[in-house]
């Protein structure tokens, strides 16, 4: 029902910024909660933040004040703006869709996942 494709990853210097996009298709996309996760090599998938269908957001403590999630429902796109990036935040970043309208921090609660986009932060 929903397909997600992330883009915008790349190589940035520590302290730099990057904006990731998640293009979605689906009839009920605007009512889905959307989450961002990341997974570094040898690490478990980590919650970054989410946005509800009404636009309320929540973030992991580690990224509060630096990352911003937004959604542009008319374009079926969710964004993750990342500022002041740190080398330890090098990871594959994934977007995910929850068929419920509210947010969720547990990855197993999400119904659909994108393929991920690599973000590398150099030191």
Query: What's residue 75's pLDDT?
Result: 84
Distance, CA of 91 to CA of 98 (rounded, Å): 22
* pLDDT tens, the chain, 123 aa long: 789 999 999 999 999 999 999 998 876 566 888 999 999 999 999 999 999 988 899 999 999 999 999 998 788 899 999 999 999 999 999 999 988 878 889 999 999 999 999 999 999
Question: Comparing C-alpha atoms, which of 10, 30, 12 is closest to residue 20?
Answer: 10
């Amino acid at each position: 029902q929903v397909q997600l494709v992330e883009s915008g990853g790349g190589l940035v210097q520590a302290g730099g910024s990057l904006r990731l996009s998640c293009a979605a298709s689906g009839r009920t996309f605007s009512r889905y909660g959307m989450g961002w996760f990341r997974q570094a090599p040898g690490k478990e998938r980590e919650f970054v933040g989410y946005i509800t269908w009404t636009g309320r957001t929540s973030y992991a403590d580690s990224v509060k004040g630096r990352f911003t999630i937004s959604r542009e429902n008319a374009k079926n796109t969710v964004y993750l703006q990342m500022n002041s990036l740190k080398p330890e935040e090098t990871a594959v970043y994934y977007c995910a869709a929850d068929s419920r309208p509210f947010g969720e921090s547990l990855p197993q609660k999400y119904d659909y996942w994108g393929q991920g986009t690599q973000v590398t932060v150099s030191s």
